[in-house]
Chains A and B, each alone.
Chain A
Amino acid sequence: MDTCVAVQNVSFSYGNVQVIHNVNLDIKEKDFLGIIGPNGGGKTTLLKIILGLLKPTQGDVTVFGQSPVEGRREIGYIPQIMNFDRNFPISVRDVVLMGCMPRRGIMKRCTSQCYNQSTEVLKSVDMLNYADHPMGQLSQGQQQRVFIARALAGNPKLLLMDEPTASVDPTIQSNFYSLLVKLNKDIPVVLVSHDIGVISAYVTKIACLNRELYYHDAKEITEEDFQKVYGASHRFLKEHKHG
């Protein structure tokens, strides 16, 4: 199966305010897709629709050939780290073990197989040394790696990441994105961000969302599209090849 997520003619309104209008998007097997757009442009709404957390007012979404609520088991979702309480009393290991739940059922206790899996994924994001650390004592970049590990613990077929804010330190940032590039060898990765500069250097495809989605199944965005999404600010375009 080539298409993982198919979004067809999807619109969504909060009351009378339409935040997404007639969006079409296919996420394919090897994609490393960045969805960019200004704040309030509907990025988080689109993400929630794909995850089955919101129902589209119009249109149709399939996730791995199923409804989003069924298909989201296959998605490793990495929410914004801002959504977490830094002081939550939990260890890195226990965060990652949460990721085993979808396959094993939420009432099941943790098995040794589950534990070994958490060790594997922590190793793959280079955080095994921190397994027993409290989450609250890690840097933001490290926390984000742990959340990726949690998503990977469920053996996902797609990684979906909301606003990666991998710290301001450029070295940490480039480490972080090379990790995503590495993961992308096996599964499609989708990033959602308002910060075009950060993600454009790494992703292989870009879509622009501001109520409507501009996407040509490629990294190129036409200047016209870009103007529609971001208004008149051409300076961002330096980051891109022109179509």
Chain B
Amino acid sequence: MVELLQFEFMQNAFLAAILTSIVCGVIGSFVVIRRLVFISSGIAHAAFGGIGIGYYLGINPLLGILPFSLLSALGIGVISQRKWASEDSLIGIFWAVGMSIGVIFIGLTPGYAPDLFSYLFGSILTVPRSDLFVMSGLCVSVLLVVYAFYRPFVAMCFEEESAQVLGIPVGILYLVLLCLIAVAVVIMVRIVGIVLVIALLTIPATIARQYTHNLKRMMLLAIAIGIGCTFGGLYLSYKFDLASGATIIVVSGLAFIMSVLVPKKG
């Protein structure tokens, strides 16, 4: 493990893994307890449209994804709150249309788009330092928002109507939570790619859920599990020359299976 850290790209990869694990632990816990896995998946896939537009405009694709995934999150949230269409239909629509927009704009861009595959399936080994700064900034803003709204978030996830009676602006807060998921997607796209974002949002938090009845502890445990899985996956992918993002997911999946099989108290 230590000899790996002499390469700068490996240092970057481990830093990116830590950032991702922190975001996954915190946001993923909300995703798991509020059952937002499918909507997160929809936002992640819709974000592909932002990647395509980013390529077409010749800007850093991260700058394309951020507004696009935020707009998808707000679109799904606002339209379903107005009851113009049901949430799961909207997820399907945004999912399909977002990806198609991405394909069209990439087709319009002259020349070959070499990094495309990396945004679909991740390429943690090529994360540039500059992206790490953007990721850290996003990571800190996500954590600050969660810290500020922690109690109302928990009350809302627990039961929406009574939360509203308690004076919590549930409608707006739900949109904020969706936006946090969108930002989390942006942070994670680099690591495991759009297709597999959902695994890192879900698996560490689901494993952690089995060992604690306290949400804060669940978040911390999920962060630790996330770091363990991403580090393990990175090491194995380096050792056996495997695709890094996919290896991280398979390691997480194995960890989940073990957690189900190992008996636990309570």
Contact = CB atoms under 8 A, between A and B. Distances in A.
Given A89-B33, A89-B209, A89-B213, A83 B167 contact: no
B167 A101 contact: yes
30 contacts: A48-B161, A51-B165, A53-B161, A53-B164, A77-B162, A77-B165, A79-B162, A83-B161, A84-B158, A85-B33, A87-B209, A88-B157, A89-B33, A89-B209, A89-B213, A89-B218, A90-B214, A90-B215, A91-B213, A94-B154, A98-B151, A98-B155, A98-B158, A98-B163, A98-B166, A99-B166, A102-B166, A106-B167, A106-B168, A134-B266
Contacts of B212: 89
Chain A residues touching B, range: 20 to 34
SS of B interface (majority) = helix
B152 interface: yes
B166 A75 contact: no
Contacts of B162: 77-79
Contacts of B148: 107
A94 B215 CA distance: 10
Interface in B212-233: 212-215, 218
Interface in A67-118: 72-73, 75, 77-79, 83-85, 87-91, 94-95, 98-99, 101-102, 106-107, 109-110
A88 B155 CA distance: 11
Contacts, number: 77
A167 interface: no
B215 A101 contact: no
Contacts of A94: 154
B115 interface: no
B219 to A, nearest CB: 10
B8 interface: no
A79 B161 contact: yes
Contacts of A91: 213-214
A164 interface: no
A137 interface: yes
Given A101-B151, A102-B166, A107-B148, 4 more contacts: A53-B164, A89-B209, A90-B214, A91-B213
A72 B154 CA distance: 20
Contact of B155 (A75, A101, A137): A101
B159 interface: yes
Contacts of B164: 51, 53
A101 B152 contact: yes
